[in-house]
Amino acid sequence: MDNPGVMVLAIKDLFAKIRQRSCDGNHVVHLSYLEVYNEMVRDLLSPGRPLVLREDKQGITAAGLTQYRAYSTDEVMALLQQGNKNRTTEPTRANETSSRSHAILQVVAEYRVRDASMNVVNRVGKLSLIDLAGSERALATDQRTLRSLEGANINRSLLALSSCINALVEGKKHIPYRNSKLTQLLKDSLGGVCNTVMIANISPSNISFGETQNTLHWANRAKEIRTKACQANEELML
């Protein structure tokens, strides 16, 4: 791949670190890939009925979401390509291959090692890579009914995300995560014990000045969020 994106680079780095530490313990990597389309959650690796979101002590989960064990970067790349083929994309007047959904790649890495007392210590880390659908003005996209509905739902979910960001920055007790399936799935990444990075993509065209200005304002607001420092999720197995 000549110009790898963030997802590819992150996966390559993960498996490079696993190879460096392979002699220290046992590593297991599982991944899942889903999309939020018109406020429906869909499994990109095993297409079927929309998934139902449930919340427990472990956080928000999509019931029935498939998890695949991956042993190498190449396996992950193959699964990504498979998922991207199932992802909802449509040509619009603004973009020939416009993503009409938000995509979330979830990678869970488990590391088992024995401590000095020969107890098995299990450490678990979760990496979520989110590709948000682009916000486009209705007049710049298309006026057909389905495209208009998709655009409205994209903008509605992004507005819900913006509301959560504002509430977190302002320190409000109630954060409106339930306003969208997207914000429910991003709850741990926004207000949990984690490290979060946001990358804002903008167009160099002056035609997109309004969208660029809104995106930069949104990103500037998001950088004010202060998440709690991330620590390893460690379990001692006797």
Segment 17-27 shows an average pLDDT of 79
Instruction: State the pLDDT confidence band at 237, using cuts at 50, 70 and 90.
Output: very low
Measure the CA–CA gap between 177 and 223, rounded to whole angstroms: 18
Instruction: State the pLDDT confidence band at 127, using cuts at 50, 70 and 90.
Output: very high
7 membership: H or E segment, kind and range: helix 6-20
pLDDT at 236: 42
What are 46-90's pLDDT values in tens digits? 999 999 999 988 789 999 999 999 999 999 999 999 999 999 876
Q: What is the pTM of this model?
A: 0.84
Cα distances (Å, whole numbers) of residue 198 to 16, 51, 122, 177: 23, 26, 29, 18
Instruction: State the pLDDT confidence band at 166, using cuts at 50, 70 and 90.
Output: very high
Q: Is the pLDDT of residue 201 over 50?
A: yes
The amino acid at residue 78 is A
Q: Which residue has the higher pLDDT, 158 or 115?
A: 158
Q: Is the pLDDT of residue 230 over 70?
A: no
CB-count exposure of residue 210 (10 Å: 0-12, 13-18, 19+): exposed
- β-pair partners for 29: 70, 109
- Which DSSP symbol is given to 144? S
The amino acid at residue 105 is L
pLDDT at 211: 86
Q: What residue ranges do the domains of the chain occupy?
A: 6-237
224's torsion region: left (phi>0), alpha (psi -120 to 50) or beta? alpha
Which range, of 17-31, 70-84, 203-217, averages the lowest pLDDT? 17-31
pLDDT at 161: 92
Percent of the chain topping pLDDT 90? 45
What are 79-95's pLDDT values in tens digits? 999 999 999 876 555 55
Domain made up of 6-237: CATH architecture: 3-Layer(aba) Sandwich (3.40)
